[in-house]
Amino acid sequence: MQIVQMIGLDKKRTRVILEDGRSFVLYRGEVRRYSLEEQQELTEEQYEEIRSEVLIKRARRRTMHLLEKMDRTEAQLREKLRQGFYPEDVIEDAVAYVKGYHYLDDGRYARNYVRNQKEKKSRRKLQSELMGKGIGKELAEQALEEEYQQVNEQELILKWVEKKHYSSETADLKEKQKMYQFLMRKGFHSDDILHVLDHLT
Summarised one tens digit per residue, pLDDT across range 4-43 is: 999 999 999 999 999 999 999 999 999 999 999 999 999 9
Instruction: Output the pLDDT for position 153.
Output: 80
Does 150 score more than 60 pLDDT?
no
- Residue pLDDT, tens place only, 49-70: 999 999 999 999 999 999 988 8
d(CA 70, CA 176) in angstroms, rounded, equals 39
pLDDT > 90 fraction of the chain, expressed in percent and rounded? 62
165: left (phi over 0), alpha (psi -120 to 50) or beta: left
Mean pLDDT for the chain?
90
pLDDT, residue 196, reads 87
Residue 85 near residue 25 (C-beta atoms within 8 A)? yes
Domain 3-100 in CATH 1.10.287: no
Query: Which residues make beta-bridge pairs with 8?
Result: 14
pTM comes to 0.67
Q: How far apart are CA 132 and CA 196, in angstroms?
A: 29
DSSP character at residue 10: S
